[in-house]
Chains A and B, each alone.
Chain A
């Protein structure tokens, strides 16, 4: 039986090389959510004047979204890197080794979650520095990090599934746009009560809405840290993880067909 944990650690370390050994690699991943944070809060800040908005601070509303966005893109990057490894033959080296297929992707997913903590932390710090409110205290911050880490892992599983199915770097935008859609087809801009048209229905069904609400316990005064605000988000993460993880494993096992 091949020892899974040492190998997982080795692959985790390797995936961190993408940022520790490539100068400036973390910059785009960190700057993008910051740009969205500042841009969206500047563009749509007046929305909090609408009745039904649970907070007066649009910045506070947007911070968790930007954290999830940054974490999601870090997860999608795992898929992009895997597609590159597949195209360039490196992944063949993994596939000819006598290692359980799941172990091959666990390390890179852990790497993605580690990497995601950088943009999440930067967004949170910058957001608080320019006026967002930390309404949820320590519990709220923990919720935000758990939601972000979970969303990153789910995005990574999605990226892996696309990578092992399409096996080309050209699928990179599909992974990134998939994550983008996942996070924005929700209560990204406004609470559910203010959504209009088709998006109201989609957001209601989208598990990302629950994950976002879970993370919003940190900064939105209308969402108190509580089990009631937590369990739907955790359930959404578990459900998505199970579904996308199954798809990823199915795709991995089919790679030699």
Chain B
């Protein structure tokens, strides 16, 4: 694959009533990347993924995955992709091992090969002991791991993960991240949609933020954060009077931000040296005998990026 792993041009998908879930989307994912696709509910993430995985046709525009057009070469796309969708789509009456064998059959593996591949994947995702139990009895974390294993049966070039860790506890989530990184190290391109900013920061080489059906920002997490702002020192003092005195005193170190009426005791100013900017601030406050409740250096987060480009917070910002 010398062309991009995923290439989308002016993609539009319209539903009944004229609703444009995807509205002129352009993006490219390079081979071997982990691409994080962020956006609030209703932004068009799932619709985009469904188009890229041939489950939905675009209204207009084009999309190519693994070098094949999703409409005219849908079959070739299906051979090249692995998919773990939002709801872990598994049959509760089957065992994990049976599901893997069926998935193998769906991709043309003969029974012995499917069985062997299934065993390898069960070991990889840590489900060997539960392999012969019905999936209906699996926990949420186990279902997600099985879903991932199912997506890998045929060694896809591109892996689509649609909110893979939603609803999982932190241990299961971390385990899944480890697995995704390992897959990427082996060369698999990963297209990851997520509501969790921490997930995007942890995993993604690049992040695309979708809102209202279009891409509103794209770049590495560091680039995106840098566009929004620089680190600041946040000082919290006991009263509005003390804050006024601190504001005057700290004015010689840098441009102090305007008073925040919601938090009268807060004083904020730039921290050009990062944590190194703390010492001079502490010295000044000490000289003025201003008692401090707390002091810290705050850097922009992806949540700040999100807020800046979409005007709203992402749901998982605090929950990750």
Contacts and interface: CB of A to CB of B under 8 A. Distances in A.
Contacts of A94: 106
A250 to B, nearest CB: 15
B85 A89 contact: yes
A96 B93 contact: no
Interface in A78-97: 88-97
A99 B87 CA distance: 22
A170 B89 CA distance: 20
Interface residues of A, number: 26
Contacts of A96: 53-55, 78, 81, 83
B55 A6 contact: no
Contacts of B87: 88-89
B89 A90 contact: yes
A148 to B, nearest CB: 26
B89 A97 contact: no
Contacts of B102: 10-11, 14
B85 A21 contact: no
A257 interface: yes
Of the four ranges (under 10, 10 to 19, 20 to 34, 35 or more), the interface on chain B belongs to 20 to 34
B105 A10 contact: yes
A74 B89 CA distance: 24
A80 B97 CA distance: 26
A228 interface: no
B93 A256 contact: no
B217 interface: no
A91 B106 CA distance: 12
A90 B90 contact: yes
A122 interface: no
A17 interface: yes
Contact of B110 (A6, A88, A257): A6
A50 interface: no
Given A7-B106, A256-B55, A98 B111 contact: no
B228 interface: no
A10 B101 contact: yes
Nearest to B84: A93
Contacts of B105: 3, 6-7, 10
A162 B85 CA distance: 24
Contacts of B94: 14, 17
A98 B55 contact: no
Interface in B56-114: 56-57, 75-76, 78-79, 81, 83, 85-87, 89-91, 93-94, 101-103, 105-108, 110-111
B134 interface: yes
Nearest to A1: B108
B150 interface: yes
Contact of B91 (A7, A14, A99): A14
A22 interface: yes
B111 A21 contact: no
Contacts of A6: 105, 110-111
A72 to B, nearest CB: 24
12 contacts: A3-B108, A10-B101, A11-B102, A17-B91, A89-B85, A89-B86, A92-B55, A95-B54, A96-B55, A98-B107, A256-B54, A256-B55
Interface of A: 1-3, 6-7, 10-11, 14, 17-18, 21-22, 88-99, 256-257
